[in-house]
Amino acid sequence: MQVYAVIGYPLNHTLSPNIHNYVFKVLGVDSIYVPLRIPPKKLHYFVEVAKDSLGGFNVTMPHKVSIVNLINDVVGPAKVLNSVNTVMNKDGELLGYNTDYIAIRHALSEGGYSGEDALIIGAGGVARAVALALRDLGCSRVYVLNRTLEHGRELCSLIESWGVDCVALSLQPNMGLSAWLLVNATPLGINEPFPMNPRDLGVGLVLDLAYVPKGDTHLIRLAREYSIPHVDGLEILVRQALEADRIWFGDIERPTWKEILLRLRGEYP
C-alpha cells in the first residue's frame, strides 16, 4: 500500500483525507491518505523520511514556502510563486507543484472571468496564486485590500513586476471601489460579518477562498442573496485536490469536482 499525506501545523481539521481517500477508492488504487501534524522545526526531518515512505503529499500552512528549499525541484507556477502545496515523489526525488493556482485559474475561467478589474482581499500566499491566475487570464488592474497596508504593497509590487497595474489599500468598510471580480483570500466571513457588500461594488463574480464544511460563509450568503455568481473555498479545495491526484496518478478517469463537492455537502446519494 502506498501512503499519501497532508502536512501542516497545527492542522486541527482538514477535509483533504475525505476527498483523496474517496478518489483512491474510485480509482481502485491501493493507497491511503492521512493527515500529519509536522511542526516547523521538524519539517526537514519529515522531508528526508518522505523520500522513502510516501508517494506524495500536500502542504498547507505554515509550510508552503519553507518546503521549497527542502525538496529537489519546483515546477511551473510554484517556481514563480515560491510556494508549494503538492509534492510528488519520483524515485526518491521530491518535485513541488502549486495546484492552488491551477484550481483558481480554472474556476475563474469557467465562472466567466476574462480580464476584468479585480479586487483581492488579503495579501498572503493564496492571494499571490490568485494574482498570478488573474495575470494569465488577461487582467490589467488589481486592487489589493489588506489590514496591514505594508503587506498589501509588497503583493502589489510583485503583481506589477508581472505587468499588471496594482493599487494597495487598507481594508476599510464603505471604500467606494468597484470591480467585476471580488476575491476573498482571508478567513473573513467565517466567524464574523464580511466587511464589504459585493452588490455595492458592482461585482459580477465572487470567489471566496474561505469555507465552512457545512453551510456558507457570510460573503457567499451575500452573493446568493443578490444573485451574484460565486465560487466558494470548498470548490477550490476539491479542484486543487483533483489536480494533485492528476500529478500523482496521471490523466486517468476520476470523479468530477462537482460529484465530490456534493458528497462533502451530503447532497449526493
Angle at 66 between CA 232 and CA 183, to 5 degrees: 20
- Amino acid 261: pLDDT: 87
Q: For the segment 32-69, what is each residue's pLDDT rounded down to a tens digit? A: 999 999 999 999 999 999 999 999 999 998 999 999 99
CATH topology of domain 2-98+235-264: Rossmann fold (3.40.50)
First to last CA, the chain: 29
Q: For the segment 81-102, what is each residue's pLDDT rounded down to a tens digit? A: 999 999 999 999 999 999 999 9
Residue 173: Cβ-neighbour burial (10 angstroms; 0-12, 13-18, 19+): exposed
Question: Binding site for NADP(+): which residues?
Answer: 122-126, 209, 233
CATH topology of domain 112-228: Rossmann fold (3.40.50)
Distance CA 66, CA 15 (A): 23
Residue 205 pLDDT greater than 50, yes or no: yes
263 pLDDT band (50/70/90 cuts)?
confident
Distance CA 8, CA 10 (A): 6
Burial 232-253 (b: 16+ CB within 10 A, else e): bbbbbbbbbbbbbbbbbbeeee
Residues 223 and 230: beta-carbon distance below 8 Å:
yes
Q: Which residues are catalytic?
A: 64
The residues that bridge with 181 in the sheet, in sequence order, are 118, 205
Q: Where along the chain do its domains lie?
A: 2-98+235-264, 112-228
The set of cell numbers assigned to 30 is 491501493
Q: Compute the mean pLDDT over every residue in the chain, rounded to the nearest whole number.
A: 93
Question: Binding site: which residues?
Answer: 14-16, 60, 85, 100, 122-126, 209, 211, 233, 240
Say yes or no: do domains 2-98+235-264 and 112-228 share a fold. Answer: yes
Average pLDDT score over residue span 197-207: 95
Question: Binding site for shikimate: which residues?
Answer: 14-16, 60, 85, 100, 211, 240
Residues 94 and 87: beta-carbon distance below 8 Å:
yes
CA distances from 124 to 28, 61, 64 (A): 37, 11, 11
Q: For the segment 110-141, what is each residue's pLDDT rounded down to a tens digit? A: 999 999 999 999 998 899 999 999 999 999 99
* 133 contacts: CB under 8 Å, gap ≥ 6: 101, 104, 105, 108
* 111 contacts: CB under 8 Å, gap ≥ 6: 205, 207, 229, 231
Residue 228 pLDDT greater than 90, yes or no: yes
Q: For the segment 20-35, what is each residue's pLDDT rounded down to a tens digit? A: 999 999 989 999 999 9
At 224, give phi and psi (nearest 5°).
Answer: -65, -45
Residue 258: what residue type?
K
